[in-house]
Structure 1
Amino acid sequence: MHLSERELITLLMIRGYGDRIRSYEEAANLFNDTFPNRPPIAESTVQKTVCCFKQFGFIKDKPRTGRPKSATNEEKSVEVMQSFTENQYISVPKAAQEHGISTFSVPT
């Protein structure tokens, strides 16, 4: 389950700091009460979020390695196709690189 940046910040604020630090269980319960329309989080999510923030000093996900993103939505596909309309000589690898997707995702 992925938490938005706003939710991560809220979670850290719920956890507290200084003299008033809630337990992971208390923080998870309060977070779940605050966001009742989303799937509940576990204590381990609170612990991982706090540890990551303490270790790296930020809450955003670290850049991922591995396979590039694919063109999974219509908007991205249209953007890529527009590249070929604007420059019929553009290569598939170049179009993929410009749009941050894998070459296999370039519609041809």
Structure 2
Amino acid sequence: MEWVYLIIAGFCEVIWAYYLDASYGFSKLVPSIMAIIFIGISFFILEKAMKKLGVGVAYAAFTGLGTAGTAIMGMIFLGESVSFLKIVALIILLTGILGLKLSEGTDKT
């Protein structure tokens, strides 16, 4: 269940990044409020995942999912540039997150 929390928290991070961009430096009220709400939601859900996964794995996966999701959102919906190097970097990032997922539970501490 903790990985479901992480995915939801990462998705919320993508949403707050979108609204943060749309707020134009917190000068637009509705996008600013939405960004703050989704920041709170994402960290609340992240905290739930940290109870079982620990801060290292949870935060690394959270930021990685948020980074990848935000980059993909920017390329698909916001007209940001797409390049071969960006795609390779995203694949490497997501592979690292998958590696964290697969390694979870193998530590014997």
Same-fold call, TM > 0.5? no
Structure 2 length as normaliser, TM-score?
Answer: 0.30
Structure with the largest fraction of helix: 2
TM value normalised by structure 1: 0.31
Higher relative contact order (CA 8 A, sep 6+): 2
